[in-house]
Structure 1
Amino acid sequence: MTTTATPGHDAAGERDSAAPVRTRAAVLTSPRGAFEVREVDLAAPRDDEVLVRVVATGVCHTDVGVWAGGVPFPLPGVLGHEGAGVVERVGSRVTDVRPGDQVLVSFSSCGDCAACLDDHPAYCATWLTRNLLGGARPDGTSPLRADGAPLGAHFFGQSSFAGHVVVAARQVVVVGPGVDLTLLAPLGCGVMTGFGSVWNVLDPQPGARLAVLGTGAVGLSAVVAAAVREPEVLVAVDLVPARLELALELGATHALPGGVDDLRERLAEITGGRGLTGAFDTTGDPKVARTALDALALRGELVVCGAPPPGTEIPVDIQPLLGGKVLRGVTMGDADPRRLLPQIVALVEDGTLPLDRLVRRYALTDLDRAFDDMLHGRTVKPVVLP
């Protein structure tokens, strides 16, 4: 079945057409249920929105978190938040995006709060409702309906496990007409989170001693960002040997198996007893985070991005913190997508970030298998094609 928009715009992309879109989407009706690819109705873009025909969408662990019931997103609903595609319509107030543009779609932010105005949109005052919990546009209306009933939608402002999405214009980043969107789709969340957490937050200088704990798509992107900064030590830690081998190819100087009792001692040995100047934990495991915190040098910094269930706590001994150690959480790599994503695209294009080594493509009708392969480590980064 071919996914098409209903008539309502000409070849030049007539602005502000009120015609809705008849498309299809993978609908999740209950936690841990199967996805059902169904015909859905998508509202037309408003004056500050664009309609994007989805070419590809990466599968992220946050999608898996909703599927598993760990995030209270309203169901039945449509997930997906690493969308990439081609703009088909633009709203009347949109001036920097045109029909025909190839775009990557990232998270939603208001653009008006203190964090957004300070170039930290990942900490938007309305981030949680816009991206994770709301299931609707900011005004409370869902742009998606099936059989006349509203669906949970606008996940990360997208819900891109679908043939089309309507998103705020500020969420899209225009990329070159010749790029492979099925390769670049994961940049909108997972890759940007890993890369940005090192590039923007840890900000390591040459000679740094770093560790990346967990080397899925987020962690491997962090390894690449760290390697570009030429650290003295860059340790990758993971349970999967093949991922550790890839981390070494991407610039890690050492690789250690996770789940061992003497990880702290091994890190101390690698750093010559000096400790880590920085660490990035993607696992969401409080024991892993505590080990990394203990392995820090004086004034060292641990950045965590894993999202375990609410109430999960990291046990912290206050005394060592008095040596200037920092424990910091990060969302979306503290990135402004329109600034950082073009830099990451350039690294993909010159081969520094070999996303082709991480990506495996699936049809939208194989979304259940994509989730299962990701959960069991058979695929680092599934990418779904509608």
Structure 2
Amino acid sequence: MTSPALQEDSDDGMDEFMEKFKTHKYKNAFNERNWEEEFDKVPMFMKKAPEEIDPVTHPDLACLQSIIHDDDRPPEERAKTLKDEGNDYFKEKNYKKAIISYTAGLKINCTSQDINTILLTNRAAAHFHLGNMRSALNDALAAKKIKPDHLKALIRGAQCCMELRNFTEAIQWCDAGLRAYPTDQKLQEVRAAADKQKRAAERDARKAKAKGKKERSERDALLAAIKERGIKLLQPKKPPKRGSDSEDEDGDSVAAMAELTLDGLSSQDATGARVYMDDQGSLHWPVLFLYPEHQQSDFISEFCESSCFINHLVVMFGQELPPWDMEMKYLPQNLELYFEGQKEILHHVDPKISLLEVLRHERYFVKAGTPSFIILVKDSSFYKQFLTGKKVRRL
């Protein structure tokens, strides 16, 4: 019991303390300018927790954190606290920290199935918002294993399957949920969307299969037509086998007719054109004309195999000469055609013969899917210089 003397001293001290408020304002009081800032320092009123909790700058928060993670409390209580902490991070859209909190709660291994299921479904939601669909689906599966009829786990599992385009599995998740919750609108919406997407995917797969079958049929027919005509495709070189010093006689790897493929028909990548067969069974080739004197070229995307070279030359040079022909000498009657065979032998081509006749020649090989020919002006100075030292053979 406090003595009357001490009580009197205490009262006198309190009176003196209270008297100060009449003449001195409280220095740390809130005012209109700083009250929001000061409130945000109080843990109860904080809108967002700081990234790092320093005991010096945030002693109250550090104290609360030590209480939250107190190992002396029951596992269920600690797991629930971490769940709530994760929920707060989730509300702030800080999904990475939410995942850390939910994971810490799961590591406690408490015996409460309800808490563990919620931790898993909440972590699945955080993974889902981060785009980690596989991790989200795994958490939904784990939650469903604990509680097969947990609504949020069923919905999240279906949504993950939708994002992963596993529409059949999404429908299975929805059906499992609708057996327990027949009127749930979210499950009904997801199932309807999954069924629609599944039907569309199956339709696209059927179309792709039919298209692939048609393309293979056309490809086989094209190969058969090329083989039947005796046209040789120059295939890309294959690296020699280790320990083998042998080379092809002509220096290039030419496919035997029994192994003829379209691997060499790669001009479509560069020019957008490739050989095709029309309804009448005629082949149309992309053909390249080269003019080495002027370093120019012409590209004919559809040169019918039955057409003669002179027909194209008349169209190209018969009416209007190209702008690079300053001497006006590239006239159809002045032009000579050649193709380069193996070992750099030039073969002269009669412009009056058809493309097919040349392609059938024993020394002609179609390179990169595009027959090519050199065009020179007969008896010009460049013509003589170009042919000097070269072997020339006439068809």
TM-score by length of 2: 0.20
Structure 1 or 2: more strand by fraction:
1
TM-score by length of 1: 0.21
Q: Which has the larger radius of gyration?
A: 2
- The structure, 1 or 2, with the larger RCO (C-alpha pairs under 8 Å, 6+ apart) is 1
